[in-house]
Structure 1
Amino acid sequence: MKKLVLALVTAAAVVAAALIPSGAPVEAASKGFGSAVSAVKQTAWQTNSSVNALAIAGNTVYAGGLFTRIRPPGAAKGQRESVRTYVAAFNKTTGAPTTFAPKLNGAVYSIATSPDGKWVVLGGDFTTVNGVKRSKVALFSVATGQLAASWDPVVAARVKTLAVYGNSVFIGGAFTKIDGQVRNRVGAVTLSTGALLKWNPNADDDVYAIATSDNGTRVFIGGPFTTINSRDHYSVAMVNSTTGAALAFPAAAGIPEPTWNCTTRVKAIDTLGNRVFIGNGGDGPGCYDGIIAADATTGKMLWQSNCLGANEALKAIDGWLYKGSHAHDCSQDGSFGDGTGTHFLLVQSVANGKIGPWFPNTDADQNSTTKVGPLAFAGDSTGLWAGGDFLHVAGKPQQGLTRFSSAPGGAYPAVPKAPGLTAGRAKVTIKFTDVYDLDNITLTYNVFRGNTRIGSYKYNSYYWDKRKSYTVTDTGVKSGQTVGYRIEVTDDRNTVKSSTATVKVQ
């Protein structure tokens, strides 16, 4: 029998590898996908308008926004709807709605849950809850779903963001007073009684995002402001969680200062361990739309990405930073360029910011007030929930709300085409084209002659890439034989096969 010789044309592979940014490993784990969650959307209920905020307490997911109705998966708008006035709750495991259904008279823009999972705080435009006066904020028991009777801070205008740590509820928005006392766009009350705290960073413009460090010593504030406590701190600030004093945050220098034709604002903040992630969005030519990762104690920059397309939501899970944005050009980071579409959902490595293996997508409702797609995330090691103004997920109707799981499975690679074959004298040249997988970058391509595997190769590919071709020469054949070849592609759990192509060896 002739010795089998394989000659692989590698030039295309070298070029492809050069286009893949270095970073965290992208090989699929045995669960079938490369990041913390799969790109396959799970069954989820829908809303009749935008979801602005999400938060998790135990096995309950809270959603707030502009919606007034929810409906089952697959139901068209107006069909089989249940009343939920601006807030709803869902079972985190099954996705089914709970009986939590307070009646609010205005939209919800923010939700936060206490670290012990016992309390949920809503913030927004409302002034009554179940007919009881509540001025822009309200506290509920997670266990009973009941409104906390004596917790009643009075916030003068819209609450856009909330965070809870210990006995402190940090509040940001468009207001200038809490309980009649001056609190310019940011303040805090106690979780136990709602009493106003002295904490007063004093922002000169709206606050869009608040998050606390994992150890509770720092509070990160984002928005279009230019000063905190009358000192220059534009777009983002790190302040002491007890005194409200602004602390040095050198990473902020990565966000260009606003100009007459560029309004810049931090819209999303999340923390993981001793890292804080800052998502920016700008209005105007050349405005910064990137993400900054910084040390949550020193404020030192760890990495920065520069994609174009404002960030609306961030959630860090198990070494990956999920982002909801309208990213359309990440060529500055060595990834996709303009003209590849809008990538509303992406993941980046917590370690270095490189684009990772997670490529589901949504759209954005152009008749909504925001028109940006995903607006809010909530998640943990079991999965990720996303809310926004979208009407479709993965090209199928799904309004306002979707979710992704960490359970093993994942997306299948696209089915490869049958290989192209060229017969020679006692040899066959096999040419095949790569495919993509929506939650893996590295795929294994096995080349089969009949039931004999004649080669196995790993290649990187993104779905927005132009498809690349590879060539293998098989000399383990005899003249006059008719042989068939197929390509099998696997992500280590899911395998797809091409049809078989045949040729007669010369």
Structure 2
Amino acid sequence: MFALAASPLAMLVPHAGADTRPPPGVPVTITADPLPTWQTDGVVWSLAVVGDVIYAGGNFDRIRPPGADPGDPREQVRHNLAAFNAATGEPLPWAPKVEGTPFDSGTPQTDCDDLGGDRWVCDAVWKVAPSPDGTRLYVGGDFTKINDQRRGKIASFDLPAGTLTTFRHEFNSRVKTLAVTRDAVYAGGYFTTVDGTARQRLAAFTAATGALTGWAPTADRGVHAMLAAPDGGRIILGGDFHRVNGRGPHGLAAVRTDATGTSAPWETGVEYFDDKRRSWVTDLVTDGEAVYASANGEGTFDGRLALNIDDGTRRWVDNCEGATQALTILDGLLYSGSHAHNCSSQPGGFPDSVPNHTYQRLLAEPTNPDPQYDTPPILHWFPTTNGGATAYNQGPRAMDNDGRYVWVGGDFTTVNQQPQQGLTRFGSLAVAKDVNPPEPVRKPTVTKPDGTTGTLTINWTQTWDRDNAQLTYQVIRDDNTVVHTVTETSTYWDLKSRTFTDTGLAPGSTHTYSVRAVDPFDNRFRSARSDPAQAG
């Protein structure tokens, strides 16, 4: 177990900067401007990039163009699986039909479709995972049929054709996660049997034949995430389990890819006090040097942590509050999806309960923080989503990237306050322009200082930009004359009041003022004109 309290150093470091045009030596983020992307009508649980294609799995029935409302005549049918061009966001024709078996239950079934009359169907795809050579796509979930053929919660497709293979097995409960190596396919979830053979939430199949192997480590609770170590000799596990092969720690473990899945050394877990106060791991990614884990929690840790890939010893912990569900790494930055609401533990982080900005659901931070930090700073990259229509109020659920575009899937219905459901994407400056202006500047107020002649004082409040900390403000008199310019940094949680006094005006003359905010890419937003004011 590790301590999750932030050190005093982390609390004292000033704003860490970083955006699409940061100061020298500070990493450059992707833009915060969402690119045109087709939408889903439900939740996207998993994303995987294969070449220039992004595969999405989840619980949805249709896809539609960006900007289109549900029911738009351009909608296309997609049953829980879809594929898109990673660079354009346009759909590809691949459209397998993924279905479940309806059943009766008087108990509400979480993450399943309510058919009415206490009848339900669970057919979601929870994980899409390609083979290392990109010639096969494996999917796991709750489904029981694909293309009208029996597939008991796991299946595979040949790529790039997308044809369903003969790979077929029967799990008795959800396959939540997959990891694929050259030689084997590893599955984790909530199941306890595969083809009638005991497997305690972990199982493996040969890649060549698809046969169930003797690899059978045991987890005592759900396995939510799996990652093949680069050395090929271990599978890193994340979830809500207490024990794997009878050993702790809670929530994280490593098992060997030997014949039976013996345990490998692993030091760090996540917090567990009791079932009402615990953390669980939701996602795992690696850059080849470290493993990065995200966590959800109830009354305890639900941020992100970096661990040495060899033994699970801790590198750093990010104690942002607000369940983290998804991770992806691009150009040395860790992008995450969460419903973060308090990152005051982190350099450059925001406090809890910011008015009109309760949650910041997408974040970026360096994988290898500068030595001045013992925990990674929150970088100035602040696109966001809403929590969506589900009871979770979460938003982002899945992330992946192709080295140019970061894709985000989830249960959200807006991105940056604009309608967009289930899917969105953001581009690096190599492929996308920073085009969105700063957030709106409020109308300034203008007063005549007592005892002055030919003088007016303009008061305004800073605004902020989603991917640029530094903005230039121009005070404009009578719509045509810039009388003051200042460049300074701002964040959405710390907007300062500013004042400028305009002198040398004709006594008795009347003027209006506006304030224009300009980002480093010359994207602009101009406030409304002030009420007219008369110089003394």
TM-score, normalised by the number of residues in structure 2: 0.79
The C-alpha deviation readout for 1:59-118, integer Å capped at 9, x for no partner, is 111111111222222332233232211111111122121111112222211111123222
**Structure 2 matches for 1:320-359, cutoff 5 A?**
320-333=333-346, 334-338=349-353, 340-352=357-369, 353-359=376-382
Tell whether 2:467 aligns with 1:439: yes
Is the CA contact (8 Å cut-off) linking 1:34 and 1:439 kept in structure 2?
no
Say yes or no: does 1:97 pair with 2:91.
yes
Matches within 5 A, 1:275-290: 275-283=290-298, 286-290=299-303
**Structure 1 residues 388 and 498, CA, compared in 2 at 3 Å: closer, same or farther?**
closer
Deviation at 1:229, TM superposition (A): 0.8
Residue matched to 2:110? none
Give the 3-state SS of the residue equivalent to 1:281 in structure 2: strand
2:223 is the alignment partner of 1:229: no
Could you tell me which residue of structure 2 aligns to residue 74 of structure 1? 67
Determine helix, strand or coil for the equivalent of 1:357. Answer: coil
Shift in Å, 1:234: 0.9
- Alignment match, 1:50: 43
Matches within 5 A, 1:94-493: 94-105=88-99, 106-149=123-166, 151-242=167-258, 244-252=261-269, 255-283=270-298, 286-333=299-346, 334-338=349-353, 340-352=357-369, 353-366=376-389, 368=390, 370-406=392-428, 407-416=432-441, 417-418=443-444, 432-445=460-473, 456-459=486-489, 461-463=490-492, 465-471=493-499, 488-493=516-521
Task: Extract unaligned runs of 5+ from structure 1.
Answer: 1-17
Say whether the 8 Å CA contact 2:472–2:485 is kept in structure 1: no
2 CA distance for matches of 1:422 and 1:466? 27
- Separation in 2, partners of 1:242, 1:132: 33
User: In terms of mean alpha carbon deviation, does 323-332 or 446-455 score higher?
Assistant: 446-455
Distance 2:495 2:281 in 1: 36
> Structure 2: where are the runs of 5+ without partners?
1-10, 100-122, 370-375
Q: Contact (CA 8 Å) 1:478, 1:505: kept in 2 or not?
A: no
Tell me how far 1:377 sits from its aligned partner: 1.3
Distance 2:77 2:396 in 1: 23
Q: Secondary structure at the match of 1:331?
A: coil
Q: Which has the higher contact order (CA 8 A, sep 6+)?
A: 1
- Displacement after TM superposition at 1:190 (Å): 2.4
Distance in 2, matches of 1:22 and 1:246, equals 42
Closer, same or farther: CA 436–213 of 1 in aligned 2, 3 Å: farther
Partners of 1:250 and 1:232 lie apart in 2 by: 9
**54, 63, 74: which one aligns with 1:61:** 54
Change (3 A) 1:446 1:192: farther
Q: Which one-letter code corresponds to 1:457 in the other structure? A: T
What is the Cα deviation at residue 207 of structure 1? 0.5
Q: 1:350-378, CA deviations, whole angstroms, 9 ceiling, x for partnerless residues?
A: 23432222222222234x36442221112
Give the counterpart letter for 1:400 in structure 2. G
Indicate how the Cα distance of structure 1 residues 242 and 133 shifts in structure 2: closer, same or farther if over 3 A, else same: same
Deviation, 1:447, is: 6.5
Matched AA of 2:183: N
Q: Which has the larger displacement, 138-147 or 262-271?
A: 262-271
Query: Structure 2 vs 1, CA of residues 146 and 175 (structure 1 numbering), >3 Å: closer, same or farther?
Result: same
The SS at the match of 2:345 is: helix
In structure 2, distance between residues paired with 1:376 and 1:74: 21
Q: Say whether the 8 Å CA contact 1:446–1:453 is kept in structure 2.
A: yes
SS of residue matched to 1:228: coil
Deviation of the 1:315 alpha carbon: 1.4
Question: Identity over the aligned pairs, expressed in percent?
Answer: 36
Amino acid at match of 1:303: W
When normalised by structure 1's length, the TM-score is: 0.83
Indicate how the Cα distance of structure 1 residues 25 and 93 shifts in structure 2: closer, same or farther if over 3 A, else same.
closer
